[in-house]
Amino acid sequence: MNKIGETINKRKKLKHNIRLMNEESRVNRELDLDIPEGLYDKCPSCGKLTNMKLNIENDYICKSCGYHFRMRAIDRIKYILDEDSFVEKGIGYITLNPLYIEGYEAKINKYKKETSLDEAYIYGFGQIYGEPCIIGVMDSHFMMGSMGSVVGEKVAKTFEYAIYKKLPVIIFTASGGARMQEGIFSLMQMAKTSAAVAKHSSLGYLYVSVLTDPTTGGVTASFASLGDIIIAEPNALIGFAGPRVIEQTINQKLPEGFQRSEFLMEKGFIDQVINRKDLKKTLHQILHMHRRTI
Amino acid sequence: MNKIGETINKRKKLKHNIRLMNEESRVNRELDLDIPEGLYDKCPSCGKLTNMKLNIENDYICKSCGYHFRMRAIDRIKYILDEDSFVEKGIGYITLNPLYIEGYEAKINKYKKETSLDEAYIYGFGQIYGEPCIIGVMDSHFMMGSMGSVVGEKVAKTFEYAIYKKLPVIIFTASGGARMQEGIFSLMQMAKTSAAVAKHSSLGYLYVSVLTDPTTGGVTASFASLGDIIIAEPNALIGFAGPRVIEQTINQKLPEGFQRSEFLMEKGFIDQVINRKDLKKTLHQILHMHRRTI
Amino acid sequence: MNILDKERKLLVLEKNISDLGDTESVSKLVEEVEKFKKNEMTKLSSWDKVLLARHPKRPKSRDFIDYFSKDFIEFHGDRLFGDDKSIIGGIGSIDGIVFTIIAQQKGSTVEENIKRNFGMPHPEGYRKALRLMKQAEKFNRPILTLIDTPGAYPGLGAEERGQGFAIAENLKEMSRLTVPVIAVVIGEGGSGGALALGFANEVLMLENAIYSILSPEGYASIVWKDSTKAPLAAEQMKITAADLKDFDIIDEIIQEPFGGAHFNPELTFEKTKKCIMDTYYHLNGLARTELQYQRNAKVRNFGFLQRFNYDNLKEVRK
Amino acid sequence: MNILDKERKLLVLEKNISDLGDTESVSKLVEEVEKFKKNEMTKLSSWDKVLLARHPKRPKSRDFIDYFSKDFIEFHGDRLFGDDKSIIGGIGSIDGIVFTIIAQQKGSTVEENIKRNFGMPHPEGYRKALRLMKQAEKFNRPILTLIDTPGAYPGLGAEERGQGFAIAENLKEMSRLTVPVIAVVIGEGGSGGALALGFANEVLMLENAIYSILSPEGYASIVWKDSTKAPLAAEQMKITAADLKDFDIIDEIIQEPFGGAHFNPELTFEKTKKCIMDTYYHLNGLARTELQYQRNAKVRNFGFLQRFNYDNLKEVRK
Ligand SMILES: [Zn+2]
Ligand SMILES: [Zn+2]
């Protein structure tokens, strides 16, 4: 987790407009976060010390170098969806410890506290300039956005809910891959989520996958890669194997820009690399142009 | 046309066992061809003078170097099908001259005489070790096996007849490409034949494409490439653009083996390169293993 | 004097007039220009049309798309190997109808031409096109293709990655589509490389576009071993919109303005758009299976041949 | 002492016996060997199974295929980019039923291992597999996959050509198949690279095979920064057939002969074949849509989690 993640974690009082309510939820989570005025942090890309508040006002993009900071799921939802339009679904899942790994529960609890999330993924209904969709967002600040049973289950539920609602799906991915601590169960989430995409797709519904930094491992090798339309944020790390594993395997340094959004677009895997500032507009346009089929 | 083609042309008395008859045909074509004992010809590959009769007895393969001589359509049929099993279909097409190219009719007539064929392609019903199929064979000795309206029509008919008979199709390709002299009509045969393959395929029938030397141009870019299973004879030239065109474009010599069967298998486009001696056995096996679906 | 020479002469004449300003000789010159326009620049040989189809100033696919659709979103890549920039694909709405648009794109400048590989696609271009056609099929979206290519690229990489296989696959899958497919030949329709986007329900063609099995130069050098005889070849090969309409290979000719599309691009775009939308509404009445049937039935009839009838009845199919 | 040490000791013991010939001390030694076999070589730790699963002498996919099917025909290539030799595909009849067989293939020799890339596929391998699965779907032919890979290859070319995209595509399309799919983990089932052939109606697993999200070495080096703790990792990760059967992730365990599959390959093949055919006949009763439904329903239930119920009723799904 980078510095900015930790920093954003500390916001506690900032007013937010996201309703995290749905008919089945009696759980109300504390999501008021704030950043103190005058807090400075180092940009991971250009290294400049910058005022966080200013960066956030600049759409979470570094004013100096254009670096796209890793966004928290709740910030993403707030940023992309129309005000007050989000209705969270699939609340209440509890991560278990199938392999009895020492300290796994404690780790999960620590992340829960830090992020005010149940797990590394949230989803629900939302609107983008009035266009309805089912939106899912991974959060790399929750255990590197790794996919365990709960994340896999919620992703599958996302598509099932979209089928029920006859709506398109938009998912923002951000993941270090499968969650090691849940062993084979994590692996099987790849099949489960891919099957959910297939079912939604077979019924003729749209799925837009938005890859953000980083999207690797089992998530890349399942639902992240299966969008009808695949968009990436600039310079996001996207790959199946991690860069370090590849370097160890081939015993040499990776070339500049390898496994980055622009590289993957050149290689034919990304429809468009889109600056965060244009993202909402583009997603709205795509939803709008697919409205006939909903 | 290579020497062996001309030589084989001269065979006039050799008994053959192919029935070129079908219920609609009152046309009986002279197919008795012979090679005089003791005729020698130069192998295009190793350059050795060899006794043609011996080569023919050796499955049309050069005894010295294993070169697969280009086979005439009627020899191929005789070689691959069970004795007396062939029933030709689609007889009686007449090649026209839509662009009024001077000398085109005369050229066609010359090839007709030389090859005893109507056009560069024949098809019909046949059996391979008892397994029924619809078989089509191109003949590169007829105007380089180029595809004009008649060839395209007959290929389409091949698949339509196979649908009617609920049988698999095997086609041996050998073509220099589209027939220039028929202009845009030739080009359209690519779409026509591909559509015929699609229809046969959509109904669940098997199509085996056997690529022989040479298979290039419009034939490669249509039905030749669309087999469920694609087999090639060793060292056959297979490509879309001709080697000379490529050399002119890139302004350098092509590497050894480029566009040859083995190269294409390495590149993922050919299921197997099969020696002519094993071809009948393999085709039988494939037909047999697909019998349930017929 | 071919059309390019005539075009140059016209520009000189018009320049002379404007140099003169408002004098008495102007009216005489204007008259001369009008005569030249009427008598010389409207008589186009096949070769003239080849020259116009390849005219550097002729509007390119992207120009058409930008005029047709204000909200075009480009989709890149074949999801397999690369993003071929000689083929543009994406979705855009034309008069309120969302189309999947797939087009061969030549460059307007040297740099763009290099980037676009002079409009000559590699297999990954055709595979991108196929991916987007299947996407259109999924969303029941009509497909518009714009054809403008000298042909599929004849290079090492293209052959290694299965140029012929990619084109064949497109033809096979296009025969299976159940959405309206409208193709417009806007410039050069070169060989199988053009047909791979041209297996459509209706094929429209600009007046001065060409569509042929190989280039006139290629034809001339094969037949006469002399590529300078290309003008003769162009005549013989029957490659103009008028020829192909006679053959029933194409369905509609879109008139170009005086002097060719580049003399008035806007008018060309507008006429093309109108023709596309008329065609769309014509096809839109058909059910999905009918659309597939119509497209295949049309292609099934292409061919110029005769079959010998044993009762001496001759049947000619064109 | 791990299983490989024990195996070596057993060979020494047996050699001693045969060196002695027919003497009195033989019977004592034989007794000792039997005791060793019974007491030592049947108690296998998870790490022992990892060693057996990777045993150089362990039979490879091709050995299984050759035993199962006398008429196996291999089909090469993905029709897009290349022919990946770490995946073998083709058709062959087993007890009279024609299967599409797709298998990861490690080498038995150094040369073969290099050719087969140690059983680690590139995207073109997965795309070949997908092509053949779609072919099986067309011909309504059951699919048998044999899984034996350390994982998908993590290299430059593999990433450039979309390793993750290829695996994801396979998973998506396998969920759509309507023919029986039977997967057998015969050796190493490494990560997503294994799962890409493993989304099946029934998953069988050899007794000493392993199936895991990453290698024990990888796990150990991430968790304890010490890859020599792999044996401990193997225990903790629950990667043996018995563990996975407990989790209901796999359906059947195929018993291996004493000492592992390589002690009696024929017997291993025969048992595996029997289990495959039993499974096939079990699945064969299902209609095509039922086969698809069953495969997806199974995967849908994979996961170990709990959902908070607001009426204080807890529901556990495993
Ligand atoms: Zn910065
Ligand atoms: Zn020879």
CATH number at residue C171: 3.90.226.10
User: What is the structure's pLDDT at C203?
Assistant: 98
Q: Average the pLDDT over B79-86 and give the result.
A: 94
Report the range of poorest mean pLDDT among B11-25, B142-156, C99-113.
B11-25
Nearest CA in chain C to A263: C82
Q: Write the pLDDT tens digit of every residue in D220-273.
A: 999 999 989 999 999 999 999 999 999 999 999 999 999 999 999 999 999 999
Tell me how close the Cα of C136 comes to any Cα of chain B, in angstroms. 19
pLDDT level of residue C13 (50, 70, 90 thresholds): confident
Q: Which of B7-16, B47-56, B172-181, D5-14 is modeled with the greatest confidence?
A: B172-181
Cβ separation of C199 and B94 shorter than 8 Å? no
pLDDT of residue B54: 80
> Per-residue pLDDT tens for C131-183?
999 999 999 999 999 999 999 999 999 999 999 999 999 999 999 999 999 99
Q: Is the pLDDT of residue B12 over 70?
A: no
Q: Which ligand is nearest to the CA of B55?
A: 2
What is the model's pLDDT at position B35? 56
- What pLDDT does D121 receive? 98
The beta-strand segments (E) located in C134-215 are: 143-149, 181-190, 202-206, 210-212
- Average pLDDT (D30-50) is 88
Q: Please tell me the least confidently modeled range out of A178-187, B14-23, B63-72, C160-169.
A: B14-23
How much is the average pLDDT of B140-167? Answer: 97
Residue C14 has what pLDDT?
86
Is A287's Cβ below 8 Å from some Cβ in C?
no
**Cα(B68) to centroid of ligand 2, in Å?**
8
CA distances to D74, D132, D133, D197, D258 from D103, rounded to whole Å, are: 11, 11, 12, 8, 25
**Chain A partners within 8 Å of D161 (Cβ):** 267
- Tell me if chain C has a CB within 8 Å of the CB of D131: no
* Residue B228 to chain C, least CA–CA distance (Å): 12
Q: Is residue C225 part of a domain?
A: yes
Mean pLDDT across B52-76: 88
Q: Is the pLDDT of residue B83 over 70?
A: yes
- What pLDDT does D22 receive? 72
Q: Do C305 and B268 touch (CB under 8 A)?
A: no
**pLDDT attached to residue A35:** 55
Q: CA of A230: which chain C residue's CA is closest?
A: C75
What percent of chain B stands above pLDDT 90?
73
- On whether the CB atoms of residues C17 and C33 are closer than 8 A, the answer is yes
Kindly state the tokens that stand for B171: 């086609």
Q: What's the pLDDT band for B292 if we cut at 50, 70, 90?
A: low
Query: Would you call D168 an interface residue with chain A, using a CB distance cutoff of 8 Å?
Result: yes
User: How far, in Å, CA of C185 to CA of B46, rounded?
Assistant: 48
Q: In chain C, pLDDT over 70 holds for what percent of residues?
A: 97
Range of the domain at D293: 49-300
A172 to chain D, closest Cα gap in Å: 16
Torsion over CA: C235, C240, C245, C249 (sign): positive
pLDDT computed for residue B55 by the predictor: 81
The answer to whether the beta carbons of residues A217 and A240 sit under 8 Å apart is yes
For residue A36, the model assigns a pLDDT of: 56
End-to-end CA distance of chain C: 35
**Which among A183, A218, A249 has the least Cβ separation from residue D237?**
A183
Contact residues, B window 79-98, toward C, CB-based 8 Å cutoff: 91-96, 98
**Cβ–Cβ below 8 Å for B185 and C158:** no
Look at C79 and A268 and tell me if their CB atoms are within 8 Å. yes
What is the predicted pLDDT for the residue at C309?
59
Assess if residue C122 is contained within a domain: yes
A8: CA distance to ligand 1 center in Å? 16
Question: Nearest chain C Cα to D169, which residue?
Answer: C79
Question: Given an 8 Å threshold on Cβ–Cβ distance, is B265 in contact with D78?
Answer: no
pLDDT in tens, C232-244: 999 999 999 999 9
D268 contacts D130 by C-beta, under 8 angstroms: no
| Residue B138 pLDDT > 90 | yes
pLDDT in tens, B13-43: 232 323 333 333 333 343 445 555 667 778 8
Domain membership of residue C272 (yes or no) is yes
Q: How many domains is chain D built from?
A: 1
For residue D184, the surrounding DSSP H or E stretch is strand D181-190
How far out from the chain centre does Cα C286 lie?
25
Task: Compute, in degrees rounded to 10, the torsion defined by CA atoms D163, D166, D167, D169.
Answer: 150
Mark yes or no for CB contact C195/B195 under 8 Å: no
Q: Which of B85-89, D30-34, D193-197 has the lowest mean pLDDT?
A: D30-34
Contacts A197 to D, Cβ<8 Å:
172
Hey, what domains does chain B have and what are their CATH numbers? 70-293 (3.90.226.10)
In 10 A of CB A82, how many CB atoms? 16
Measured in angstroms, how far is the CA atom of residue B259 from the centroid of ligand 2?
20
Task: Say which ligand is closest to the CA of A48.
Answer: 1
| Residue B198 to residue B196: CA distance in whole angstroms | 5
pLDDT of amino acid B29:
43
Does residue C305 fall inside a structural domain?
no
Which of D79, D80, D83 is the mutation pick for testing C, counting most C CBs within 10 A?
Answer: D80
User: Which one of the ligands is nearest to A64 CA?
Assistant: 1
Name the phi and psi angles at C82, rounded to 5. Answer: -170, 180
Min Cα separation C104/chain D (Å): 21
What is residue D72's predicted lDDT score, i.e. its pLDDT? 97
Q: How do residues C189-229 score in pLDDT, each as one tens digit?
A: 999 999 999 999 999 999 999 999 999 999 999 999 998 99
What is the reported pLDDT for A38? 64
Q: List the single residue in D76, D82, D140 with the smallest CB-CB distance to B272.
A: D76
Rounded CA-CA distance C260/C265 in Å is 9
Cβ of residue C97 closer than 8 Å to a chain A Cβ: no
How many CB pairs below 8 Å do chains A and C form together?
Answer: 57
Contact of C124 with chain A, judged by CB distance below 8 Å, is answered with yes
Distance B238 CA to ligand 2 centre (A): 20
Instruction: Answer whether residue D257 is part of any domain.
Output: yes
Closest approach of B194 to chain D, Cα-based (Å): 17
Q: Is the pLDDT of residue B157 over 70?
A: yes
Banded pLDDT at B57 (limits 50, 70, 90): confident
pLDDT at A44: 85
C222, C204, C195, C239: which is closest to C54 by C-alpha? C239
**pLDDT digit string, tens, across residues C252-279:** 999 999 999 999 999 999 999 999 999 9
Amino acid at site C279: T
| Distance between CA atoms of residues B194 and B219, nearest Å | 10
- What is the arithmetic mean of pLDDT over C3-9? 90
Average pLDDT over residues A167-193: 97
D223 touches chain C (CB under 8 A): no
Q: Provide the Cα torsion C230, C235, C238, C244; round to 10°.
A: 120
Omega prior to A214 cis, within 30 of 0: yes
Tens-place pLDDT, residues B212-242: 999 999 999 999 999 999 999 999 999 999 9
User: Ligand 2 centre from B67 Cα, in Å?
Assistant: 5
Q: Which ligand is nearest to the CA of B63?
A: 2
D39 belongs to a structural domain: no
Question: Is pLDDT at A40 greater than 80 in this prediction?
Answer: no
- D76 lies in a domain? yes
Q: Is C67 exposed, middle or buried (0-12, 13-18, 19+ CB in 10 A)?
A: middle
Q: What percent of chain A has pLDDT over 70?
A: 86
The mean of the pLDDT values for chain B is: 87
C-alpha B119/C-alpha B116 separation (Å) is 9
pLDDT cut 90: percent of chain D above it: 81
Q: Please list every residue in chain C whose beta carbon sits closer than 8 Å to the beta carbon of residue B190.
A: 167-168, 171, 192, 195
Q: Is residue D295 part of a domain?
A: yes
Q: Do D76 and B265 touch (CB under 8 A)?
A: yes
Going from the Cα of A141 to the center of ligand 1, the distance in angstroms, rounded, reads 20
Residues of A in contact with C179 (CB under 8 A): none
Count the neighbouring beta carbons within 10 Å of the beta carbon of residue B23.
6
